[in-house]
Amino acid sequence: MKQEIYVEDLSKHIDEEVTLRGWLYNKRSSGKIQFLILRDGTGLCQCVVMKNAVDEESFAVGDRLTQESAVAVTGKVQKTQKDAPGGIELFASKVEAIALTADYPITPKEHGIEYLMANRHLWHRSTRPWATMRIRHTLVKAIRDFFDDRGFILFDAPILTPNAAEGTSTLFETKYFDEGMAYLSQSGQLYAEAGAMALGKVYVFGPTFRAERSKTKRHLTEFWMVEPEVAFMDLEGDMQLAEEFVHFVVTRVLEQRKPELAILDEGTGKLETRLRNVLKPFKRLHYDEAAKILDKYWDEKLAQGTEDLPPTFKRFTYGDDFGAYDEVALTSIYEEPVIVHHYPAEVKAFYMKRDPNEPDKALAMDVLFPGFGEIIGGSQREDDYDTLVQRIKEHNLPMEAFEWYLDLRKYGSVPHAGFGLGLERLVLWVCELDHIREAIPFPRTLNRIWP
Ligand code: 4AD
Ligand code: MG
């Protein structure tokens, strides 16, 4: 009986005869011996094919195999002292070609990022995307486990929606039969609020869309967001939840994905150190405090010259929201994430509650990650009917579209809060990727909708 197994299970089959099925990742040969590096999706294995240990056909197949040819190799699993993946080799007794490949477009040489992105459907077979997607998977599972273990109920929000949630400038619209316009959801939050009033603690986890015209390394037009929402929670509770949540998911990556981290940082241990720093208590800064730190930072920085800043750079002034440069500046001071809270209400969303003690500030918070910036944005929500009506008017939003949302303030309104975490930004940060397009299997950006 053939034992068909996966590379990741090889260590359970030492000295046994097994069959691996996969694709040729790389190969070396010298006359009487071939080293075939096979990948099967779960890992890499070096298969040693010796001319005198296999039939003639097997050896001839080994010669013909090209990069990404599909292949099955049967042989004996052996521990090795040699520098082979996993410290294990397969000593072949049979090699069978399943599909030969010609001219695979991604060779071991360096390719430019545009070329790799155009071949994203194939690039996934390479080691870096492979490691990144495995870490993404683990983060998604950890996110679900965190909320599930704490009694949150998954509450799926619609993707086709009648109104904006996060400002009208980034809406994707589509005609919706005779009902007028529908918009792709920018955030499931408003629906999560309805869920929290029904189920207490909920989370929405799904794709969201923003017609972002920006070409930054942090913006996608389609991204995944997880959004917890809790009845009777205030801003303080929201910040605590966010901190616990980040600690939990990062710990999971450290527990389960060290080999993948090592692939991404080439064994320097840099990524692990970054992740461990996140496990410290987060630094908290009131907006006013953060603004002072930034002012000082830009005074000093600009005194040294502006050569390394782009022409579009605009210096922060008090009352502004932070730009990408401000966030990077602020977070380069600390090793742990920084929570900035009490942003000016003027620059924030219509649904955020204002602090009764500081009426010009919103009960809002952003979690900024070291050297990067915002990955989480959250707030306590406005729970007073009349005030919310007023905000909707101030933001020139269509009142009819929000009637159902206002109902939540009519019938048993209570304090409540939540936040949204952008999954791809988290993946980008954990893996220290150059660009967010590498954090999702098939990215959608201003100028890319293919493959
Ligand atoms: O700060 P944002 O806009 O907040 C909301 O949407 C709230 N409704 C969330 C809530 O309170 N339930 O977005 C939340 C997060 C950001 O911190 C960022 O990580 C991510 O979503 N995000 C994006 N990620 C990739 N591409 C984009 N264009 C993004 N826009 C936001
Ligand atoms: Mg935000």
Q: Which amino acid residue places its CA nearest to atom 24 of ligand 1?
A: 422
Per the domain annotation, does 444 fall within a domain? no
Gap between the Cα atoms of 158 and 26, Å rounded: 45
Per the domain annotation, does 190 fall within a domain? no
Per the domain annotation, does 178 fall within a domain? no
Mean pLDDT of the chain: 96
pLDDT digits (tens, 9 = 90+) for 168-208: 889 999 999 999 999 999 999 999 999 999 999 999 999 99
Q: Which residue of 204, 225, 369 sits with most ligand 1 atoms within 8 Å of its CB, as the best mutation to test the pocket?
A: 225
Measured in Å, residue 366 CA sits from the centre of ligand 2 at 7
Per the domain annotation, does 445 fall within a domain? no
Percent of the chain at pLDDT exceeding 90: 92
> What residues are paired with 181 via a beta bridge?
175
pLDDT recorded at residue 215: 86
For the purposes of burial, counting CB atoms within 10 Å of the CB of 322, is it exposed (0-12), middle (13-18) or buried (19 or more)? buried
**Residue 263 scores a pLDDT above 90:** yes
Answer yes or no: is the C-beta of 422 below 6 A from any ligand 1 atom: yes
Of 115, 92, 102, 33, the closest CA to residue 65 belongs to 102
Of 64, 140, 118, the closest CA to residue 95 belongs to 64
Strand pairing category for 222-231 and 416-422: antiparallel
Q: Are residues 259 and 395 in the same domain?
A: yes
pLDDT recorded at residue 307: 84
Q: Are residues 286 and 335 in the same domain?
A: yes
pLDDT recorded at residue 168: 85
pLDDT recorded at residue 165: 86
pLDDT digits (tens, 9 = 90+) for 212-248: 888 899 999 999 999 999 999 999 999 999 999 999 9
> What residues are paired with 374 via a beta bridge?
368
pLDDT band at 167 (very low <50, low <70, confident <90, very high): confident
pLDDT digits (tens, 9 = 90+) for 34-69: 999 999 999 999 999 999 999 999 999 999 999 999
- Give the range of the structural domain holding residue 20, as residue numbers without chain letter: 3-99
Cα–Cα distances (Å) from 292 to 239, 317, 325, 404, in that order, read: 22, 10, 15, 41
Q: Which residue of 425, 428, 446 sits with most ligand 1 atoms within 8 Å of its CB, as the best mutation to test the pocket?
A: 425
Q: Are residues 295 and 398 in the same domain?
A: yes
Q: Are residues 11 and 138 in the same domain?
A: no
pLDDT recorded at residue 149: 98
**Residue 87 scores a pLDDT above 90:** yes
Q: Which ligand is nearest to the CA of 207?
A: 1
Per the domain annotation, does 373 fall within a domain? yes
pLDDT recorded at residue 86: 86
Answer yes or no: is the C-beta of 368 below 6 A from any ligand 1 atom: no
Of 340, 104, 134, the closest CA to residue 348 belongs to 340
pLDDT band at 250 (very low <50, low <70, confident <90, very high): very high
Q: Which amino acid residue places its CA nearest to atom 27 of ligand 1?
A: 219
Percent of the chain at pLDDT exceeding 70: 100
**Residue 311 scores a pLDDT above 90:** no
Q: Are residues 293 and 398 in the same domain?
A: yes
Q: Are residues 244 and 310 in the same domain?
A: yes
Answer yes or no: is the C-beta of 378 below 6 A from any ligand 1 atom: yes
Answer yes or no: is the C-beta of 189 below 6 A from any ligand 1 atom: yes
Q: Are residues 19 and 144 in the same domain?
A: no
Q: Are residues 430 and 394 in the same domain?
A: yes
**Residue 1 scores a pLDDT above 80:** no
What is the CATH number for 276?
Answer: 3.30.930.10
Give the total number of structural domains in the chain: 2
